[in-house]
């Protein structure tokens, strides 16, 4: 515990040096003047927002070349994505404020995406190619008012790249690297990642076409495995746009994403020739009509997912969803903004398994039964006063075909006081969320329960943010989240399991601290600390304390050096005991990771070469009990833009 306290104190002391540090240069930090959208759907300056939103810019992503979307998000305060440090095909678990996957909502270009065939109805971030991502915003807390069911602990809004302003631009990226555990030191090239993007603007027409591929091998999924388990993904994206006038813009897009992931026997923790295949097809339109003081936007997406499990227990899943979000944004004045919208969704799934005594796949979930629709009208208002008071408030009526109507709401006041050194912002919020059971939890023949009731969440937040002009920004937020009707996988005895609502109420609470500090013109520090307190029934793989730190040094305009540090506290995990036929609790020990990154731009910034050295000290640790983790690994890459 002394080590935790010492490191936390060092981070706080270093970050708060901004109080006494003289501002000797005029370098501006983009992060301190950033515009945030996710908490209100309006482009508001950070100091006008009543939330502490993490915005990962295009430049941030460029400085993290070689990392996946999930790895980048995992460095965010309050976020723990379990599985990013294991075999590339490892399933991902999202833990935010004591919650699980079903309580985290992923948006792509502002549209909610889910996989109705998943147990948690969650979106799999392994389907995304980071080379197609422009920026990411992470909003924590209950956000069902703006984004509907599932937005209980966090909203991750991923914005894909837009077309270049010039007629033609091509970008190529290629990365090769090792992929080995702590016990392997041969440094064989086993990781290949390539992407190409063509884009541009011709008068009123814009286009972007992108293709990416990753092949990773060399690391077994389970710790005791001898055979490597490969991961192979393909991604294609096409975006088209046409400006009919200054008032009317039409955009359309389509994407194809597929990955194949080898995996092992997770019960006996031994090699097995298993494979998981996921395919996603997505098409959408996004027309926008602007008028005096306002705009009307329609975001409509059709998403189709096919998942195949090839193992001793083979299965196949088909799922599709249609989401349409029509909303009107109107500015009554420079201080009062409103959003009125209507969101409609339809989801359905079908599954096939091999029943006992049979040799062929047979339908287990019928899509005629496993379907639901949601139609939600919603209203959100933002008031920005001239004397520092800002209020963000909203209301949503959730109309679910299985559960009827349910109201969620939020109120988020904040107050900003300007000083000579910058500003001080106090913030508070109370928000509710509504999480309906997934189709799998309702209709799976063996484990499903049609009597399940939706989960409900209520989150209280309070905190402050201090800005020291263009020098530093520090924030701390306290959260308290109450959860009722929690859905759990219950052992009913005699080897019978079922999804059921738990009668007990659960409360998760904690603190989230962030600091971004420009020490000099060339040297900057970004750090965050998350403390999470959850009851024993919810603490699976959730670290009580997690620390991220990144020190960046820019040598001239062309060269960047970066050191990234992460500390994860002790965590509890569960392992099945084949002797007692019960799950045993095991403790995964804390660990420290240090990564090094360097990049150098040449040819007038058209060509960038870069290198990563991950897990510099070859730390031996466990992310999941019995599964492999990445040891010291090296990657080299280049990015060419013409």
pLDDT above 70 coverage of the chain, percent: 95
Q: Could you write out the three-class secondary structure of 2-19?
A: HHHHHHHHHHHHHHHHHH
Q: List the structure tokens of 476.
A: 């701390």
- Comparing CA positions, the residue from 490, 509, 508 lying closest to residue 498 is 490
pLDDT above 90 coverage of the chain, percent: 79
Q: What angle do CA 221, 222, 224 make, to 5 degrees?
A: 135
The C-alpha torsion from 250 through 57 and 52 to 153, rounded to 10°, is 70
What is the chain's mean pLDDT, rounded? 91
* 587 pLDDT above the threshold of 90: yes
- Residue 397 to residues 404, 429, 430, 452, 524: CA-CA distances in angstroms? 10, 19, 17, 20, 45
Q: List the structure tokens of 393.
A: 């408030």
Residue 23 is predicted with a pLDDT of 36
Residue 33 is predicted with a pLDDT of 56
- Comparing CA positions, the residue from 326, 325, 323 lying closest to residue 296 is 326
Q: Which tens digits make up the pLDDT trace of 491-536?
A: 888 878 899 999 889 999 999 999 999 999 999 999 999 999 999 8
Please count the other Cβ atoms lying within 10 Å of the Cβ belonging to residue 535: 13
Q: Which tens digits make up the pLDDT trace of 434-482?
A: 899 999 999 999 999 999 999 999 999 999 999 999 899 999 999 999 9
Q: Read off the pLDDT of each residue in 111-117 and give the average, rounded to a whole number.
A: 90
User: Which residues in 162-314 belong to E strands, given as ranges?
Assistant: 169-178, 189-202, 205-216, 231-243, 248-265, 270-285, 288-291, 294-310
* 637 pLDDT above the threshold of 90: yes
Q: What angle do CA 582, 583, 587 make, to 5 degrees?
A: 150
Q: Read off the pLDDT of each residue in 40-62 and give the average, rounded to a whole number.
A: 87
Please say whether the beta carbons of 424 and 464 come within 8 A. Answer: yes
DSSP string, 27-95: PPPGGGG-EE-TTTSS-EEGGG-SS--EEE-HHHHHTTTT--HHHHHTTSTTEEEETTTS-TTPPPEEE
Alpha helices, DSSP H, located in 404-510: 439-443
- Residue 185 to residues 122, 218, 593, 614: CA-CA distances in angstroms? 37, 12, 18, 13
Query: Given the structure tokens 């639901």, which residue do they identify?
Result: 372
* 5 pLDDT above the threshold of 80: no
Q: Read off the pLDDT of each residue in 42-57 and give the average, rounded to a whole number.
A: 86
Most confident of 39-43, 504-508, 512-516, 538-542: 512-516
> What CATH class has 2-641?
mainly beta
- Residue 233 to residues 52, 258, 319, 445, 555: CA-CA distances in angstroms? 34, 6, 20, 32, 35
The C-alpha torsion from 131 through 137 and 140 to 144, rounded to 10°, is -100
Residue 309 is predicted with a pLDDT of 96
* 236 pLDDT above the threshold of 60: yes
Residue 31 is predicted with a pLDDT of 43
Terminal-to-terminal C-alpha distance of the chain:
52
Please say whether the beta carbons of 518 and 524 come within 8 A. Answer: yes
- Comparing CA positions, the residue from 448, 128, 135 lying closest to residue 303 is 128
User: What is the C-alpha to C-alpha distance for residues 245 and 72, in angstroms, rounded to an integer?
Assistant: 37
Please say whether the beta carbons of 266 and 222 come within 8 A. Answer: yes
Residue 17 is predicted with a pLDDT of 38
Residue 27 is predicted with a pLDDT of 32
Residue 41 is predicted with a pLDDT of 86
Query: Given the structure tokens 């109309």, which residue do they identify?
Result: 399
Q: List the structure tokens of 616.
A: 């510099």
Q: How confident is the model at residue 15 (pLDDT cuts 50, 70, 90)?
A: very low
Please say whether the beta carbons of 434 and 409 come within 8 A. Answer: no
Q: Which tens digits make up the pLDDT trace of 161-206?
A: 999 999 999 999 999 999 999 999 899 999 999 999 999 999 999 9
Q: For residue 590, what is the DSSP state? A: P
* 381 pLDDT above the threshold of 80: yes
* 7 pLDDT above the threshold of 90: no
Q: Is residue 502 classed as helix, strand or coil in its secondary structure?
A: coil
Q: Is residue 409 classed as helix, strand or coil in its secondary structure?
A: strand
């Amino acid at each position: 515990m002394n080590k935790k306290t010492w490191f936390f104190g060092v981070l706080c002391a270093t970050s708060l040096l901004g109080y006494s540090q003289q501002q000797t240069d005029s370098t501006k930090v983009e992060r301190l003047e950033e515009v945030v959208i996710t908490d209100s759907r309006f482009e508001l300056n950070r100091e006008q927002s009543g939330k502490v939103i993490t915005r990962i810019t295009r430049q941030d992503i460029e400085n993290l070349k070689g990392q996946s979307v999930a790895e980048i998000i995992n460095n965010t305060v309050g976020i723990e994505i379990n599985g990013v440090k294991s075999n590339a095909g490892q399933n991902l678990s999202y833990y935010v404020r004591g919650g699980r996957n079903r309580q985290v909502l992923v948006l792509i270009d502002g549209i909610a995406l889910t996989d109705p065939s998943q147990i948690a109805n969650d979106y799999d971030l392994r389907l995304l190619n980071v080379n197609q991502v422009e920026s990411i915003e992470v909003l924590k807390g209950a956000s069902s008012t703006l984004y509907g069911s599932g937005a209980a602990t966090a909203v991750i809004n991923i914005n894909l790249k837009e077309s270049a302003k010039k007629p033609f631009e091509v970008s190529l990226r290629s990365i090769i690297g090792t992929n080995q555990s702590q016990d392997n030191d041969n440094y064989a090239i086993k990781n290949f990642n390539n992407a190409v993007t063509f884009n541009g603007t011709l008068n009123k027409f814009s286009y972007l076409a992108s293709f990416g591929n990753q092949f990773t091998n060399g690391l077994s999924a389970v710790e005791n495995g001898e055979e490597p388990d490969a991961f192979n993904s393909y991604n294609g994206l096409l975006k088209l746009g046409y400006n009919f006038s200054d008032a009317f813009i039409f955009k359309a897009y389509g994407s194809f994403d597929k990955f194949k992931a080898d995996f092992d026997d997770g019960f006996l923790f031994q090699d097995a020739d298993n494979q998981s295949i996921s395919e996603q097809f997505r098409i959408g339109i996004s027309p926008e009509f602007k008028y005096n003081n306002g705009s009307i936007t329609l975001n409509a997406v059709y998403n189709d997912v096919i998942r195949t499990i090839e193992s001793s227990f083979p299965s196949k899943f088909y799922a599709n969803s249609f989401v349409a979000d029509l909303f009107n944004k109107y500015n009554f004045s420079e201080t009062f903004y409103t959003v009125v919208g209507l969101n409609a969704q339809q989801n359905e799934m079908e599954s096939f398994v091999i029943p006992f005594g049979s040799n062929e796949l047979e339908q287990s979930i019928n899509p005629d039964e496993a379907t639901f629709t949601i139609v939600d009208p919603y209203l959100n208002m933002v008031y920005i006063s001239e004397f520092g008071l800002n209020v963000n408030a909203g209301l949503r009526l959730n109309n679910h075909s299985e559960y009827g109507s349910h109201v969620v709401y939020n109120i988020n006041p904040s107050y900003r006081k300007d000083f000579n050194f910058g500003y001080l912002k106090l913030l508070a919020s109370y928000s509710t969320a509504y999480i309906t059971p997934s189709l799998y939890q309702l209709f799976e023949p063996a484990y499903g329960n049609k009597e399940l009731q939706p989960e409900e969440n209520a989150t209280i937040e309070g905190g402050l943010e201090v800005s020291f002009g263009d020098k530093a920004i520090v924030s701390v937020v306290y959260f308290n989240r109450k959860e009722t009707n929690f859905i759990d996988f219950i052992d009913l005895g005699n080897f019978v399991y079922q999804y059921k609502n738990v009668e007990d109420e659960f409360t998760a609470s904690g603190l989230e601290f962030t600091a971004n500090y420009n020490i000099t013109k060339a040297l900057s520090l970004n750090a965050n600390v998350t403390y999470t307190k959850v009851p024993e029934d919810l603490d699976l793989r959730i670290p009580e304390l997690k620390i991220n730190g990144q020190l960046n040094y820019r040598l001239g305009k062309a060269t960047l050096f970066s050191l990234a540090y992460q500390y994860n506290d002790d965590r509890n995990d569960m392992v099945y005991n084949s002797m007692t036929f019960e799950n045993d609790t095991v403790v995964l020990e804390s660990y420290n990771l240090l990564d090094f990154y360097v990049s150098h731009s040449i040819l007038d910034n058209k060509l960038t070469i870069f290198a990563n050295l991950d897990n510099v000290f070859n730390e031996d640790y466990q992310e999941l009990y019995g599964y492999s983790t990445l040891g010291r690994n090296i990657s080299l890459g280049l990015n060419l833009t013409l």
